[in-house]
Amino acid sequence: MITNISDGIGQAAHFLKLGQAVAIPTETVYGLAANIYNESAIRSIFELKQRPLNNPLIVHIHSFDQLNEIAVNIPEVAYQLARKFWPGPLTLILEKQQDISDLITANKPTVGIRMPNHPLTLELLKSLDFPLAAPSANPFKRISPTNPERVFEYFENKLSFILDGGECQSGIESTIVGFREGNPVIYRLGALAKEKIEEITGTIEIANTENKAPVAPGMLDKHYSPRTELIVTENIEQEVHKNRGRKIGLLSFHPLPSQENVVLQKFLTENSDLEEAAHNLYEYLQELDESNLDVIIAEFIQEKGLGDSINDRLKRASHK
Ligand code: TXA
Ligand code: MG
């Protein structure tokens, strides 16, 4: 198979209707999409990603009608969040409608749903008479791709089609909110800052990430990882000193004075802009990862707004 890469929505729809998996752009990261009502198409997503079947997929929709087709007993606060933030980087975990496949939900009674905010993918969804299940378009545990070239590197010619929507704007995955007895809980920090959600919900709890059987496997300790050893620190100079003698790459939020042994430095943002930092995070990690380094040393950012979400990804990426 040779992978087609283009912005042709008609072509993407063609392959999806045939029951094939297609890579789609979203505002967060690229997804690997298939028709939610086609079991073998859904199964092929798990196979392509080598993802364990106990890790459920997010269903992508374009309308509130589709929401009601997929979920039941939707709490009022979920509607409030959806009306405020959709289309956008928020996934809601809701009670599923009976006919939603157990493969998508990993046998859970709930289903993850979001309305992505990317013009091409919204248009694609509108042209189809089925929603799309789509995990991030990376092999299990690897870094999520934020441009079509990275998707192609991961899957080469195992995919029929990559819908080219350019670089993803946000650059990290959606924030996931579930409900316990009707009360909202954050299952995964992400591209929608916790503070924004709290404007609607009031103070919100973050589900315990130490949990051995995490509610959302995106909360597994190790995730989003480069292959090169990654150290995350509050004190980059000290860590560089400790690692002297090794080939070091740096991922920081501010330019640092050049240091011995540091062969490559990437600054996530020029002017302390957290959105810019999130946008660059995965692509810079990928670039560092392919630069033949002995170690990547990254710096924690202030825990505020998207800073929380960025630190969360850095912790998981560096987990041994
Ligand atoms: O931004 C995103 O959310 C991207 C784009 C493509 O939309 N998608 C994404 O999907 O990150 P994925 O599969 O890589 O991560 C989805 C997370 C997983 O951690 C999964 O366990 C969780 O959502 N999830 C899905 N359904 C769930 C459910 N019913 N209950 C709990 N967690 C669920
Ligand atoms: Mg993922």
DSSP one-letter code for 158: G
In order along its 320 residues, the chain shows pLDDT tens digits of 899 999 999 999 999 999 999 999 999 999 999 999 999 999 999 999 999 999 999 999 999 999 999 999 999 999 999 999 999 999 999 999 999 999 999 999 999 999 999 999 999 999 999 999 999 999 999 999 999 999 999 999 999 999 999 999 999 999 999 999 889 999 999 999 999 999 999 999 999 654 444 455 555 566 788 999 999 999 999 999 999 999 999 999 988 877 788 999 999 998 889 999 999 999 999 999 999 999 999 999 988 899 999 999 999 999 87
The structure tokens 């033949």 sit at: 292
CA neighbor of 167 nearest in space, from 13, 4, 282, 301: 282
Q: H or E element: which one contains 39? A: helix 39-49
Q: Is the CB of 217 under 6 A from ligand 1?
A: yes
The strands making up 248-252's β-sheet, listed across from edge to edge, are 229-233, 295-299, 248-252, 262-267
Q: Is the CB of 162 under 6 A from ligand 1?
A: no
**Closest ligand 1 atom to the C-alpha of 116?**
7
Ligand nearest to the CA of 174: 1
Q: H or E element: which one contains 93? A: strand 90-95
Instruction: Name the residue of 58, 115, 136 whose CB sits within 8 Å of the most ligand 1 atoms, as the mutation to test its pocket.
Output: 58
> What distance in angstroms lies between residue 244's CA and the mean position of ligand 1's atoms?
39
The structure tokens 């364990």 sit at: 52
Q: Is the CB of 132 under 6 A from ligand 1?
A: no
Q: What is the CATH superfamily name and number for domain 229-318?
A: Threonylcarbamoyl-AMP synthase, C-terminal domain (3.40.50.11030)
Q: Is the CB of 138 under 6 A from ligand 1?
A: no
CA neighbor of 38 nearest in space, from 16, 19, 54: 19
Q: Is the CB of 105 under 6 A from ligand 1?
A: yes
Amino acid found at 142: R
Question: Could you tell me the residue ranges of all domains in the chain?
Answer: 4-169, 229-318
> What distance in angstroms lies between residue 257's CA and the mean position of ligand 1's atoms?
39
Ligand nearest to the CA of 29: 1
What is the spatial distance between Cα 26 and Cα 88, in angstroms, rounded to a whole number?
9
- Please identify every residue whose CB atom is under 5 Å from ligand 2, which is an ion: 136
> What distance in angstroms lies between residue 144's CA and the mean position of ligand 2's atoms?
6
Name the class of domain 4-169. Answer: alpha beta
Q: Supply the pTM of this predicted model.
A: 0.95
Q: Strand, coil or helix: what is 148?
A: helix
